[in-house]
Structures are given as structure tokens and as C-alpha cells.
Amino acid sequence: MTNEAVSSVVVTHRFDAAPERVFDAFLDVAIARRFLFATAKGEMIAAEIDPRVGGRYTFTDRRPDMGDVLHTGEYLEIDRPRRLVFTFGVPQFAPGYTTVTIDIRPDGEGCVLTLTNDDVPAAHADGNRDGWTRILTGLLPAYEDVQAAGWL
Amino acid sequence: MDEYGPLDDVLTALADPTRRAILARLAASDARVTDVAAPFSISLNSVSKHIRILERADLVRRRKQGREHMLALNPAPLDAASDWLDQQRALWAWRLDELDKILKEPAS
């Protein structure tokens, strides 16, 4: 099945800032730690970024309800200021990685950013068939099957 | 908001095309186990295993009707799974809003 599009989470946002400034915010640890894997109630207690293809990042968000939550992944593409792709996993919650793609295009004085969080490329699949990515791939098609069957 | 909700059983259940087909069948109407199994080329035993996984996720409920086991779709966990994706979307949107605020701060 070709499920990629429907299993993705896609969010767009327009910024008044130039593409370069928005792009750099994702790789500048002082800025990134304030938003990238932040949660409303959490406190980012540690963040490290190795901003090169093949480099990794770790962000640890301290949450009142579940303690310290590690977010980690690897940079797959760094094409300033257009495109940034990295894997993203939270080992505490699920094995495997999803992929986050940031696309930025100029829009007047500012830019429009599209963030897509979808499943892992084959190169990063670890053979664990119960991995999160495989699971997510199956999610929305089933929902659509049910809708197509006229239940909803 | 969390990155992952406690929905592993549901998502595991939905990850398999045979199980999705079973759900689609039950979306049309309640059915006996043998009726559900009929269109599949795999064994009844194998279909039963899939049904048990769906029951564990509470996507399918079973009741006895005379000597037959009737299966019914329980859609509530699908809504939960869909909600989970909505939460992910909201979380990323919130993060981009935060970035927007940071970029609008006066340069120090």
C-alpha cells in the first residue's frame, strides 16, 4: 500500500523572518532547545547538536508527569536554507525512528515552513517489524477502509 | 502533550493488511468468525490469531449467539488513534509558534 502521505503529520507556518534565520534556528542549540522538542509544561534540561550530515542530536525534556524524556536522531540532509531532514526517536516511548523533514521557501519578506513527520527510511529500519514506523504506516489507511466501508 | 500515547495495541493491530480487511468487513456488519475468514486464503487458525490481536486492541468484540461466535467492530480505539495524530500535529504547530515568538524577540 502507498500510505506515506496519509500517515504523515504535516504542519505549515509562515514566518516574517528570512529563510536563513528560520533554518538556522533548528541547528543553533541555544535557540533550538527553546522550541524544537519542547513541550508546554516541560523544561529542556540538556540539548546537544552535531550539525552535519550523519551527526546526531539529543534533547532531554524534563516533564512534570513523566520525568526526563530523551529525544534523539541523526541529520540526513542539511541544505541551508531550503531543507533539513533528520530522524527522530523517543526511545523511552517506542523503538525506531520517524523522519522529520523541514522545507522552507521564501515568501515575500518572510518564508513558509512545512514540517512533515513521517516514517523512517528503509536505511534506518532495524528489522523490528513492530517498530513504530511500520505501525504508523498502517494507521490511517485502516481508518479510511472503515470510512470507505460506509461505517463513518 | 506526549509524543506517544498508550496506543501500542491499537497501532499494532492496524499495522497488518489482513487485520485491516477484517475491520473493513466488520464495518459493514457484525459477522460470524467463519464468515470473516471465508474470503481469506489463509487458514481459519491464522485468521483467528488476527482476530485475537484485534480483540486485544479492543477493536473487535466477540459475543456468543447460540453456538456461534459473533464479531463486532468497536470503533472507539480508531478515534483514539486519530486523536493521537491530531495531538502530534498540534504539538508541532505549537513548537513552530514558539519559534515564531523567539524570532520576533528584539535582538539582544
Contact A99, A119 (CB under 8 A): yes
Give me the pLDDT at residue B26, please: 87
This prediction has a pTM of 0.66
Q: Which domains does chain A have, with CATH numbers?
A: 9-148 (3.30.530.20)
Q: What is the pLDDT of residues A126-147, one digit of tens each?
A: 333 333 333 344 444 444 444 4
**A67 reaches B (C-beta below 8 A):** no
Contact A47, A60 (CB under 8 A): yes
Rounded CA gap, A69 and B4, in Å? 11
Domain boundaries, chain B: 8-103
Which residues in chain A touch residue B93, judged by CB atoms under 8 angstroms apart? 11, 13
Nearest to B3 by CA among A143, A47, A33, A92: A92
User: ipTM above 0.95?
Assistant: no
Q: What percent of chain A has pLDDT over 90?
A: 55
Q: Do B4 and A93 touch (CB under 8 A)?
A: yes
Rounded CA gap, B68 and B84, in Å? 35
Residue of A nearest to B98 (CA): A35
Give me the pLDDT at residue B8, please: 67
CATH for B8-103 is: 1.10.10.10
Q: Do A35 and B99 touch (CB under 8 A)?
A: yes
| Segment A90-114 mean pLDDT | 89
Q: What is the pLDDT of residues A102-111, one digit of tens each?
A: 999 999 999 9
Instruction: Using pLDDT thresholds of 50, 70 and 90, give the confidence band for residue A122.
Output: very low
